[in-house]
Amino acid sequence: MLTGVMTRHAFFSAADTAHRIAARNLSPLSAITIDIDDFKRINDSHGHAGGDLVLKTFGKTLRQCARNSDIVGRIGGEEFVMVLPDTALEGAIHLGQKILAATAGTRVENEGGLISFSVSIGAAEIIHAEKTSLEQLLRQSDQALYAAKHMGKNTVSTLPAKLQQQSEPA
């Protein structure tokens, strides 16, 4: 309710349906995993009320950037995931960059002053949903998120093609 996006349970239910449709239609399916950078620092500096304002603001940003067909959920404290039906990796990267741009100028007004924040994003795609599970797709986008964090945060990352191929069954 805080962020205006799906809860973990609702997200996984809708994402599973999108995966089954992609498998049946032989259409691409992408995901992006998004983490608010240094969220603990925000909570420590601005209190949990400030952190909640950041989460609420970021949820609104995600809803504004998403298409009606995109599935948007908060799956953990400051971690969000989007499953993108009928979307190839390039489209997921484009959406990630759109989210970065929308977040870059955001300042959240709080009692203790303005809070600015950035996000890191991992993007992944499965071309053959009938051969690759939803869990594998989300694992790939999560691994790409960790790559974005290692690259210095506030960026969109994907897994190298070699790692993507190793993650999918032959």
Residue ranges per domain, the chain?
8-165
Catalytic residue annotation: 78
Which fold, 8-165? Answer: Alpha-Beta Plaits (3.30.70)
pLDDT at 31 over 70: yes
Q: Please, which residues have CB within 8 angstroms of residue 135's CB and are 6 or more apart in sequence?
A: none
**In the block, residue with structure tokens 């999560």:** 142
Instruction: Kindly report, residue by residue over 65-111, the tens digit of the pLDDT.
Output: 999 999 999 999 999 999 999 999 999 999 999 999 999 989 999 88
**pTM, rounded to two decimals:** 0.91
